[in-house]
Amino acid sequence: MSTTRSKKLCWQEFRHNALLPFVLAMAVTLGHTAALGQSRIKDIVSFEGIRTNMLVGYGLVVGLNGTGDGLANAPFTRESLIGMLERLGVNARENGLNTQNVAAVMVTANLPPFANQGSRIDVTVSALGDATNLLGGTLLVTPLVGADGEIYAVSQGTIAVGGFAAAGAAESIVKGVPTSGRIANGGVIEREMPFKLANMKQIKLSLRNPDFTTSRRIARAINAFVGLPAAKATDPTTVIMKTPASYKGEIVELITDIEQLRVEPDQIAKVIIDEQSGTIVMGSNVRINTVAIAQGNLTIRVTETAQVSQPLPFSNTGTTQTVPRTEIEVTEDKDRKLTVLEKGVSLQDLVNGLNALGIGPRDMITILQAIKAAGALNADIEVL
């Protein structure tokens, strides 16, 4: 009796040990599959106050090899050049200026969040007048102002141009945009943005793609992490999170922990169409009701072939005539069949069904719009 029981226990233990690796493998696979659809909160939201600010300025580029602005056609360049020389003690109003080595430019840059005074940023320089090339030019000291009119940075330096232009007597070539360039570390921050992160009692998270479901999932993920009802979704775009007592004075640590949490963003069923390029982008939630589709093309080709009719050799009465010859060809695709798409098919089935018709992207755009007009497409169509 004891021997039979012992054998039974051994068999159960063997079966348990044999199934354990399979169960663990299935759990790892399911967990990995679920994690594939999840994104970090850091990648789908932006925190209030942590943002870049745009800067802009007007300046002069000198040292061009005859590719600058024509002072007769660009009065703003002329006045800027005269004003700069007068500030340096040079009187240039009494003499005629006729240089093409100077160009007026607009300078743009982005001020990173929490940038400290004295740190450097990259700037972009773009020609404003009729300059043809900024290669080899040097930007003079240019203040960069923000939306409030205050100066936040000053830029200066040699411009690096990615494109080039070359011309000869009968041919010219232009690659890239030679009238625009960059200055790496060409801007020095002179003024910091006034923003105190450590004194914040609550933080607003703004979703880059507003959605009710996603905002609620973010709030629930934060509350599950801190163990308190600290976060609340107020609308599809905003999630307000109060600073827990355990993170008092430690806002950086709180944001670091929160932005690493993972949630699965939800998305609405939408079809994006760009009719100019024939591009179609469909979301994974696009579904259709049962519908039958047939598509056929009618092609009319008109070919003009002019023929020359000449008189016989040594004839004194005939003249050479050009006789038009027109050929019209009509082609109708009669082998196109009717395709039935069943109700609730997936995105892959929808694509396969449309590809089975053997149509191009532009005809597919027309079919999708027709399906939407028939009320069988459960998605929004957005035409760019």
Per-residue pLDDT band at 177 (split at 50, 70, 90)? confident
Please give the share of the chain, as a percent, with pLDDT higher than 70. Answer: 76
**What predicted TM-score, i.e. pTM, was given to this entire model?**
0.63
* pLDDT value of position 307: 75
CA distances from 131 to 66, 170, 189, 268 (A): 9, 21, 29, 48
Cα–Cα dist 331/191, whole Å:
70
192-209 per-position pLDDT tens digit: 887 777 777 888 999 988
Pairing of strands 45-47, 39-40: unpaired
Please give the share of the chain, as a percent, with pLDDT higher than 90. Answer: 27
34-57 per-position pLDDT tens digit: 455 688 998 989 888 788 899 999
Choose the weakest-confidence range: 149-153, 231-235, 236-240, 268-272. 268-272
Per-residue pLDDT band at 281 (split at 50, 70, 90)? confident
Instruction: Inform me whether the pLDDT recorded for 303 exceeds 70.
Output: no
210-266 per-position pLDDT tens digit: 889 999 999 999 999 988 899 999 999 999 999 888 888 788 888 889 989 999 988
* Mean pLDDT within 279-306: 68
CA distances from 22 to 13, 15, 16, 36, 308 (A): 15, 11, 10, 21, 83
Q: Is the separation of the CB atoms in 353 and 345 below 8 Å?
A: yes
Per-residue pLDDT band at 28 (split at 50, 70, 90)? very low
* Mean pLDDT within 279-288: 77
* Token pair belonging to 206: 């703004």
Tell me how far apart the 2 most distant CA atoms of the chain are, in Å: 131
* Token pair belonging to 59: 């300046």
Q: Is the separation of the CB atoms in 127 and 152 below 8 Å?
A: no
* DSSP H helices in the chain: 2-36, 41-44, 75-87, 212-226, 251-259, 347-356, 361-373
Cα–Cα dist 130/69, whole Å:
5
Instruction: Inform me whether the pLDDT recorded for 25 exceeds 50.
Output: no
Q: What is the chain's alpha carbon radius of gyration, rounded to the nearest angstrom? A: 35
Question: What's the CA angle centered on 70, arms 97 and 177, to 5 degrees?
Answer: 140
Instruction: Provide long-range contacts, Cβ within 8 A and 24+ apart, for 83-88.
Output: 84/60, 84/140
Helix (H, G, I), strand (E, B) or coil at 119: coil
88-141 per-position pLDDT tens digit: 888 877 667 788 899 999 999 999 988 889 999 999 999 998 898 998 899 999
Cα–Cα dist 337/166, whole Å:
55
Q: Is the separation of the CB atoms in 360 and 336 below 8 Å?
A: no
User: 383: which residues sit within 8 A by CB, 6+ positions away?
Assistant: 273, 274, 275
CA distances from 158 to 64, 77, 185, 187, 258 (A): 11, 19, 11, 12, 42
Beta strands (DSSP E) in 132-269 are: 138-145, 151-158, 164-167, 172-175, 180-189, 202-207, 231-233, 238-242, 262-263
Instruction: Inform me whether the pLDDT recorded for 33 exceeds 50.
Output: no
Higher pLDDT, 16 or 335: 335
* Mean pLDDT within 327-353: 61
Q: Is the separation of the CB atoms in 52 and 111 below 8 Å?
A: yes
Helix (H, G, I), strand (E, B) or coil at 92: coil
Cα–Cα dist 101/164, whole Å:
17
